[in-house]
Amino acid sequence: MRNTWLIAGLIVVIGAAAPFSGLYPLFLMKCMALAIFAIAFNFFTGYVGLLSIGHAAFYGMGAYFGGYAIKTYGVSTEIALLIGMMTGAVLGLLFGLLAIRRRGIYFAMITLALAQMVYFFCVQAPFTGAEDGLQRIPRGKLFGLIDLSNDLSMYYFTLLLLVLSIVVVQYLVTAPFGQVLKAIRDNEPRAVSLGYDVQRYKLTAFVLSAALAGGAGSLKAMVLSLAGLPDVHWTNSGAVILMCLLGGLGTALGPVVGAVMVVLLETELASIGVVKIGSLSLDLSTKVPIVIGVIFMVTVLLFRKGIVGEIQSLIDGYHRRRAEKSAT
């Protein structure tokens, strides 16, 4: 837990200063909502060891339901977030009941298939606004008191939620619950033989992860005043996998670093436009996925554990060598 406070402190300091560095609060908030999404994904896939390709469904439906509630019924901000989380949890339970007993690629495929069904439902359903999406979603008032329509107020609220997510998830993975998850990932038959109901542990982790993803979705809807089909599309599940692999799966900071990197790359590349290399002219803004793909491949080949993962194992190695030295 000591590390957790260090990380939380670091994020608070960087986060508090960031809006004054010339970066737009809106851009930063988008990063943070996606970072929470990545933290949610990492909590399941990083610690249970099953690959979900269905998390966009939780995120996207959280965005729609949270956004719809605040837009149509004028609920307060925290209620919209709770609705997003509930949406994620209920969907997660449905997905989980169908998929959690499967292993490896079968689990991944079932979550993908179910998420596709959710996507087609969203294309058809009237309340989602189809191609236009759900627009002009207000941010509401926190506890019905604090107006968040100002970007900076919303920014600090989002920062608070990000830090909260990190602390809660780090608490869970170091608590007995997380220890059991690690044990199950390490050696499932052994965990069974010691009396653990491993399916229920995995299912619980999946539902918690889905709930946080749904919360992140509703947060994003309020931040950008928009919930749309790209949120539920499978490529969004792909993006969150990418973030966690880039940053470092199973690490506390990896998802945050990964999310910032992906959003930065997307916006920077899109704004660079045409690049001339000799006689070759390349319009980068249309080739964002390809460039990100290449960067992704290089990173994964160079840093197998992701950026944060590699740094962490460097630090661990240093500590171990020092401990060995002092022991002799």
Partner 1 sequence: MTLTASPDQSRLKSADTRQTILEARGLTKSFRGFVAVDKVDLKIQRGGIHALIGPNGAGKTTVFNLLTRFIPPTSGNILLFGEDITRQSAHALARHGVVRSFQISATFPHLSVIENLKIAVQRPSVSPGRFWQSSRSLAHLEERAHHFLELVELKKFAQVAAGELPYGHKRALELATTLATDPKVMLLDEPTQGLGIEEVDHITQLIKRFSKERTVLMVEHNMRMVAAIADRISVLRYGRIIAEGSYDEVSRNPQVIEAYLGSKAKKENQQENKQGNKQ
**Residues at the contact surface with partner 1, assessed by CB under 8 A:** 172, 174-177, 179-180, 182-183, 186-187, 189-198, 200-201, 203-204, 208
Closest to partner 1 by CB, 22 or 195: 195
- Tokens 């605040």, residue? 70
Closer of 194 and 294 to partner 1 (Cβ): 194
Q: Please, which residue, 65 or 206, has the CB nearer to partner 1? A: 206
Q: How far is the CB of 186 from partner 1 (least distance, A)?
A: 4
CA distances, 233 to each of 7, 38, 133, 166, 262 (Å): 31, 16, 13, 25, 17
Q: Which is nearer to partner 1, 197 or 283 (CB)?
A: 197
Q: How far apart are CB 58 and partner 1 at their closest, in Å?
A: 18
Say how far apart CA 219 and CA 224 lie, in whole Å: 9
Q: How far is the CB of 327 from partner 1 (least distance, A)?
A: 11
Query: In the complex, what is the shortest distance from the CB of residue 8 to partner 1, in angstroms, rounded to a whole number?
Result: 18
Neighbours of 284 (CB within 10 A): 16
Cβ nearer to partner 1, comparing 183 with 265: 183
Cα 250 from Cα 242, distance rounded (Å): 13
- Buried b / exposed e across 162-177, counting CB within 10 Å, b at 16+? bbebbbebbebbeeee
Of 187 and 235, the one with the shorter C-beta distance to partner 1 is 187
Pair 66, 204: CB distance under 8 Å:
no
Question: Which one, 72 or 179, has the nearer CB to partner 1?
Answer: 179
CB of 97 to partner 1, least distance (A): 14
Closest separation between CB of residue 197 and partner 1, Å? 5
Alpha carbon 268 to chain centroid, angstroms: 21
Q: Is 218 helix (H, G, I), strand (E, B) or coil?
A: helix
**Residue ranges of E strands in the chain:** 141-142, 146-147, 274-277, 280-283
Q: Compute the least distance from the CB of residue 320 to partner 1, in Å.
A: 11
Residue 142 DSSP symbol: E
Measure CA 11 to chain center. Answer: 16
